[in-house]
């Protein structure tokens, strides 16, 4: 998989540059109220497709890695995080069994082919410790519908069912599957009050109406 780094920088700036502070505030809530309790403390974590570091800059961990092709990501992460600028479908510059958690958000749909996804999952499995978790957040094609294709760089149409199958074929054990988790998307300019974001996370019974992104937690046996 090849991509022009300047093109990646331009795409991200056009899509998110105008509301980066709001995105950062939302991720502060998501990490503090949901993902930090889910992941726990003192973990070795890789943020796969880390973008501008909204997740990895906020999660507390014993060791943090960020992987992205966009070189802007290296300038956005806070000190103490190791940035890996590389194609995720090629061998990762990490040792076997060196990670407790691989986290990825809104990334797999940008991979050009299913083969790239399969190779990426294989690398995640190689680098995770036994019992390590792959946490996947992304737009659910089943519920997003045609809006999935409103982004020029979306290639793979994935639902919670198709990704679950891919994970099992890659020898992961699939644990929690939430077909409807977060709404979709911040890229269209909608900015719900932050208090509403925090309340939403506390009311999982309403996710079935507003959630258009899946959350899947897979485990390396």
Q: What is the pLDDT of residue 1?
A: 44
| 145-176 pLDDT tens trace | 888 887 778 889 999 999 999 999 999 999 99
| 8-63 pLDDT tens trace | 555 555 555 567 888 899 999 999 999 999 999 999 999 999 999 999 999 999 99
All domains of the chain, ordered by start, with CATH? 5-86+93-219 (3.40.50.150)
Q: Which residue has the tokens 């996710």?
A: 207
Q: What is the pTM of this model?
A: 0.91
Q: Which two tokens stand for residue 142?
A: 């089943």
Task: Name 135's bridge partners.
Answer: 103, 217
Contacts of 68 by beta carbon, 8 Å cutoff, 6+ apart: 49, 50, 51, 83, 84, 85
């Amino acid at each position: 998989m090849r991509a022009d780094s300047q093109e990646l920088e331009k795409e991200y700036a056009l899509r998110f540059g105008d509301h980066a502070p709001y995105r950062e505030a939302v991720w502060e809530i998501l990490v503090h109220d949901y993902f930090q309790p889910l992941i726990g403390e003192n973990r070795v974590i890789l943020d796969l497709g880390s973008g501008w570091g909204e997740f990895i800059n906020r999660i507390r961990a014993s060791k943090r890695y960020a992987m992205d092709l966009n070189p802007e990501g290296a300038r956005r992460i806070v000190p103490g995080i190791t940035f890996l600028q590389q194609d995720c479908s090629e061998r990762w510059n990490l040792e076997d069994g060196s990670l407790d958690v691989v986290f990825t958000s809104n990334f797999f749909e940008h991979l050009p082919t299913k083969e790239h996804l399969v190779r990426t999952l294989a690398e995640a499995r190689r680098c995770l410790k036994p019992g390590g978790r792959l946490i996947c957040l992304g737009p659910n094609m089943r519920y997003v519908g045609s809006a999935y294709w409103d982004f020029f760089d979306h290639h793979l149409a994935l639902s919670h069912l198709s990704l679950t199958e891919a994970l099992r074929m890659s020898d992961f054990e699939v644990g929690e599957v939430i077909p409807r988790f977060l709404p979709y998307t911040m890229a269209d300019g909608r900015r719900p009050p932050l208090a509403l974001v925090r309340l939403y996370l506390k009311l999982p019974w309403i996710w079935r109406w507003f959630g258009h992104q899946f959350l899947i937690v897979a485990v390396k046996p």
